[in-house]
Amino acid sequence: MLSERELISRIRRSDLVSFKMLFERYYNGIYLFARGIVDDEFHAEEIAQNVFIRLWLKRETLDPDKNFNAFVYLLTRHEVADYFRSETYYKRTLHLDMLEDVAQVHAQAENAYDVEYLKRMISDEMERMPAQRREVFRLSRIVGLSNEQIAEKLYISKRTVEGHLNLALRALREKVGRFGCWLVLFLLLQ
């Protein structure tokens, strides 16, 4: 097993396999930490995913000599603060940052994972979803609308939107695992 310092060094060089190892090492703790603060499974999941997206986008600035555990939880607290300030703020800026990085992630992912297979699995799973859940998921994760915008567009409550997203993400995670789900959703946002 690689040391945390070695993982950070490799991630700084854009090593997606090392990032996956770090993701698996920290994801549950970050999710539970966020869940304890926001008291909502869906938003805690979203916060945890945003932490890892932010880590990947800022990977070149990570310092292997600093306490990564303290840093990642500080980053999580910032994400929670962003959530309480505005649910749509980060999604807009994150989408723009990701557009610049998707090509590199896609190339590495193709080497380490069968991305097309994962995309097909996600697509097949989406086809099995009830029509409204599929549309809510598409509008949220592919189009990039906020929960409020989706609720207005589909004439449903925000809680119904959150429920559909929670069920959709749960089904996808069961199908391809947490990291596979994160990777494919990241690539779908291109």
- pLDDT mean across residues, the chain: 79
- Tell whether pTM > 0.85: no
Taking phi over 0 as left and psi of -120 to 50 as alpha, with beta for the rest, 39 belongs to: left
Same domain, 20 and 61: yes
Residue 98 corresponds to which tokens in the numbers above? 């990701």
State in Å, rounded, how far the first CA of the chain is from the last one: 33
pLDDT at 2: 83
Range of the domain at 68: 1-85
Same domain, 145 and 69: no
25: CATH:
1.10.1740.10
| pLDDT bracket for residue 186 (50, 70, 90) | low
Same domain, 74 and 46: yes
Same domain, 79 and 13: yes
pLDDT at 97: 52
Same domain, 69 and 125: no
Model confidence pLDDT, tens digit, residues 85-123: 765 444 544 554 554 455 555 555 555 556 667 677 778
Contact 105, 167 (CB under 8 A): no
**Helix H or strand E encompassing 58:** none
CA angle (111 as vertex; 18, 178 as ends), nearest 5: 55
- Looking up tokens 């557009």 gives 99
pLDDT at 125: 82
Same domain, 64 and 106: no
Contact 88, 157 (CB under 8 A): no
Same domain, 106 and 81: no
